Structure 1
């Protein structure tokens, strides 16, 4: 590759501005607009002035507990205003925050706290008890609304930080199953956020749906608060229900959103069922975290043909959230675009030489977003964080992504697949991503994953389709396009592919399914539906209806009546599909909250029967409305004493 072509893979230069850590940048915004609302969650809202004063108080509490520069503090908090204030407070104490999802099992929680060697844990009233049982370090509980201490608000954070101090550690699952903590420094975070403010200008009203332990949250929090926008944090209950998320968008006039493509598809579904106008305030939808399906691009512009950009972002945690982006202003082929401001992209062969345009190669990412490495894992760090021989400045590094890409004619990058997923079938090298791409091109296929089969000698494919496609016909279509070694010996058609809590494809579960033989004989072209699922054989019509809905959503031939939905491979996004399926099969639409509370067939049969007897949809369960009202009243009283308006 010529040096002139190589320079095309360098993003727009970042502005040469003095370094400011993320929390201090927010404090500067607060000095300019102290009474403007910074964060909303449920019935609680805080202004910029309140948010910074609250986080400064926490920074001094942490300092008094012995937390100092370079330490690590775990943050175990449900989505809330408290969670956002706590992030700023930890940084203000000079420490790096280590976000841990409260839904993690105790063993996983304890493993992360031990591996990160945290100095303290910041918890909320809801998570305090859990953290005290799994960690011997001090636990500092933060109230759910600002609680001014005697003596007034601190004038500054407790500690100062420098560009190379760690800002956060986010844990990713390693190839061996053990979590690895990615250390992101303040200079990395500052560069990533500066690039975001360039690509996404303005002061947004942003809906945060990403868990704190998912690095997309970094984009939402700092890209909003440093721009002087309003961060709308979805509660746990709202995150479980796409219709409530759509309502949040409409109620707060949200104009910017970042989520995985699958969740955006569910939001479009929910808006279509209720009132599409509730999404009218959106001006930019950002999707990230997994591959963007072409049908979703088509659908986005069919629903919102004018004035609403769709932006596809790509980037591993190791490069501080993102490294490439593609902005769609109309229907166009999907790719991951080009470099964000400041980033350097290299497409290299196995000898780390640039490949020719149009050829496949591994993506390496350089620039100021490249993180320090993996916490306390020097060998793992050395394997993928390398010296960048293409950079002008000495000491520059690049991250080896393991992702195979190809430059296209639009000067963007096509994502091909993972390098480490490459397989050998009968002596031939096969890239599953290439087979997945071929499946994606077939009619009726929404998603596809290809993995080694149970014997490791061939391939098994999983495809998501709502159209009941015939797997035999799919194989014939593939055989007409691909060499025989690339055609999966088995294709399993599911209504949707399983996902984890973050909404990403659950490849671990898919590998488990791929290693097992199919539960029933696959359908044939002569009998495309196959044998009747045994799950539907029951004397009770309602039980048969509920079981049929489960079998449809889970893609299982049998569904035990007393096994938890999530133990059968279900997940939060699949629960939304179950809500639709129950309405179709039973004629009644239970609330999503009720479904999360009643998670077996037997329990849902009782729920729906009770709803039928009452002549209405199944109840949603109890709410915490009174508690929320009390918190709101207390916050308003505090504001009145301090003379702060809404």
Structure 2
């Protein structure tokens, strides 16, 4: 079965940064980027990035080189991306939240010629022995303007535009090389599907490839890019405030974050998302309940679009535009894309039959940097394209054509999963776990909630799971660190001696039952969780503990253990904020919760707030108000539907 997207508009090749420069020539005073209190016009952005491109050229950067971008979300980050491309190089985004070991691995693997950092992140690159260029936080109006008339070097369609690293099955990340022609095609398709000049809220880290959609899909449309700062990204209430303050019309995020934005908007109760016209979700499975909620809470003019696509096909390959509350689909091909659903023999399957998805067309990337064997395994000749030299990417995703001629996502064909929008190879986590002290073997699976990972460790010595998680956090991004580790004397195996993954999946779905004694029963496997302690005598401590237990899905919460060491993550912290309001009647700020990350510290935080008279409205009242608003919206939509 083959599905073909509509043809892309026929235009001559112009690199992404040069397209923005041409727009800047026509509208130099229009605001291109907002972040915090900084507003940068198109004219300022291009002059800023051109100066940076010449600084990089003076540092020895040329066409085809790679330059790491180590910057927090900011206007400077956007100028850096344009400046690196203007120097003829490919940008290699590195999330400052990554552990030092991961940063060093990417810098070494990408063989970068230079690192561009801000004053806040420069120290992270000091040990790389690579030239570091510091970019100012705002455009330097007194800088030498002689170099701002043009970019430093021209580029061609086949030159690399960026490398984004994904999890590798061996534990080493793989850099996907995306060429300028891939980026141009992907962005042209985006401008066809989403016309207009949006005010776009950028919440994706630069190292997450949906940032490519936000940056280039906005700047090449002449829109305004509203970049959420690192602190704002931690707080859905502040993100909603950004939408309202800057009249944001378009946002792209993972479904989990969108749900949190809806929660925050409902708490505000004043329609702070009223400016939105398009909500795009991508990066993880879209729950049907979130589709229903979107159409319940928004006016009919707010679109919901579900996108799908791996990094290897330049951000996206399919999209589905919902017309109302309806079953979830990943839809059909974006313009310029070919979709093939094939069997194990690489032959098309009939409609309605499950098969593996292969993607062809102009978005198929060059391959993996420095890994020809890995590239050859999944970047194949496309015999169905009808043109010589065409290639297709083997996704490993199982799909099925539905009755609406779209695709339903079924699952993965291998051990790769999506966690909070990031692609994770389970084997990469396992290979990092196995060498740790006290570990004989390890298996990692998706957890029962589908929002993280759970690991099983074979350890005859009874390894400490908290210590293991901390060791992993020094080597891997937080999204790859299992939220829970269960320690067993040995991993279960079937009669053939093979690992019994089915049994492990069953165990993963079962919550641990607290026991009154710390000692395991005879022949009972050891577990990662300490035995259940008596409930705290202090009522407030008991309330905070109950909130943690609810959010983390654990039976026992030690008062002095870090939230993130018990399996928490940034999105879970937002849920903890809600749970604390329900259990304690007070809603601490998200910034305070990120600073006070143990039960004991949060008890002190809440007690101090109460003593200072900062109690929030009782959680029951807040919940009642939220439900009342939702009920009113549903009644309004029902009446409108009846009239139609």
**Range of TM-score over shorter length:** 0.7 to 0.9
Counterpart mapping for 1:19-38 below 5 A:
19-38=13-32
- Indicate the residue corresponding to 1:364 in structure 2: 358
Match of 1:386 among 377, 380, 384: 380
Which string of whole-angstrom CA distances, capped at 9 and with x for unpartnered residues, describes residues 416-464 of structure 1?
0001149xxxxxxxxx99xxxxxxxxxxxxxxx9xx9x9999x997147
Give the 3 Å change call, closer, same or farther, for CA 351–139 of structure 1 in structure 2: same
User: What is the CA distance between 1:176 and its match in structure 2?
Assistant: 2.2
- The answer to which of 325-334 and 362-371 deviates more is 325-334
Match of 2:448 among 449, 462, 483: 462
State the 4+ residue runs in structure 1 displaced beyond 6 angstroms: 454-457
User: What is the CA distance between 1:512 and its match in structure 2?
Assistant: 4.8
Q: Report if the CA contact (8 A) 2:80-2:116 is conserved.
A: yes
Query: What secondary structure is seen at the aligned counterpart in 1 of 2:559?
Result: coil
User: What is the CA distance between 1:177 and its match in structure 2?
Assistant: 2.1
Give the 3 Å change call, closer, same or farther, for CA 417–145 of structure 1 in structure 2: same
Match of 1:155 among 149, 154, 169: 149
- Indicate the residue corresponding to 2:64 in structure 1: 70
Q: Distance in 2 between matches of 1:507 and 1:363?
A: 25
Match of 1:93 among 87, 90, 97: 87
- Indicate the residue corresponding to 2:236 in structure 1: 242
Query: What secondary structure is seen at the aligned counterpart in 1 of 2:115?
Result: strand
Q: Report if the CA contact (8 A) 1:535-1:557 is conserved.
A: no
- The answer to which of 514-523 and 338-347 deviates more is 514-523
Give the 3 Å change call, closer, same or farther, for CA 510–596 of structure 1 in structure 2: closer
- Indicate the residue corresponding to 1:143 in structure 2: 136
Query: What secondary structure is seen at the aligned counterpart in 2 of 1:321?
Result: coil
Query: What secondary structure is seen at the aligned counterpart in 2 of 1:206?
Result: strand
Which string of whole-angstrom CA distances, capped at 9 and with x for unpartnered residues, describes residues 165-207 of structure 1?
0000000001222100000000000000000000000000000
Q: Report if the CA contact (8 A) 2:483-2:566 is conserved.
A: no
Structure 2 unaligned blocks of 5 or more: 419-425, 431-439, 452-472, 487-503, 516-530, 617-644
Q: Report if the CA contact (8 A) 2:114-2:131 is conserved.
A: yes
User: What is the CA distance between 1:577 and its match in structure 2?
Assistant: 0.8
- Indicate the residue corresponding to 1:213 in structure 2: 207
Q: Distance in 1 between matches of 2:343 and 2:45?
A: 48
Q: Report if the CA contact (8 A) 1:69-1:94 is conserved.
A: yes
Q: Distance in 2 between matches of 1:182 and 1:406?
A: 27
Counterpart mapping for 1:417-432 below 5 A:
417-421=411-415
Counterpart mapping for 1:338-487 below 5 A:
338-421=332-415, 462-463=448-449
Counterpart mapping for 1:523-562 below 5 A:
534=532, 537-562=535-560
Indicate whether 1:509 and 2:507 are aligned.
no
Query: What secondary structure is seen at the aligned counterpart in 1 of 2:448?
Result: strand
Q: Distance in 1 between matches of 2:548 and 2:450?
A: 16
Give the 3 Å change call, closer, same or farther, for CA 408–151 of structure 1 in structure 2: closer
Query: What secondary structure is seen at the aligned counterpart in 2 of 1:362?
Result: strand
Indicate whether 1:585 and 2:583 are aligned.
yes
User: What is the CA distance between 1:519 and its match in structure 2?
Assistant: 6.5
- Indicate the residue corresponding to 1:633 in structure 2: none
* TM-score normalized by the length of structure 2: 0.80
- Indicate the residue corresponding to 1:186 in structure 2: 180
Counterpart mapping for 1:561-572 below 5 A:
561-572=559-570
C-alpha root-mean-square deviation of aligned residues, in Å? 2.7
Structure 1 unaligned blocks of 5 or more: 423-431, 434-448, 466-499, 524-532, 619-646
Match of 1:40 among 13, 34, 37: 34
Which string of whole-angstrom CA distances, capped at 9 and with x for unpartnered residues, describes residues 348-385 of structure 1?
00110000010000000000100000000000000000
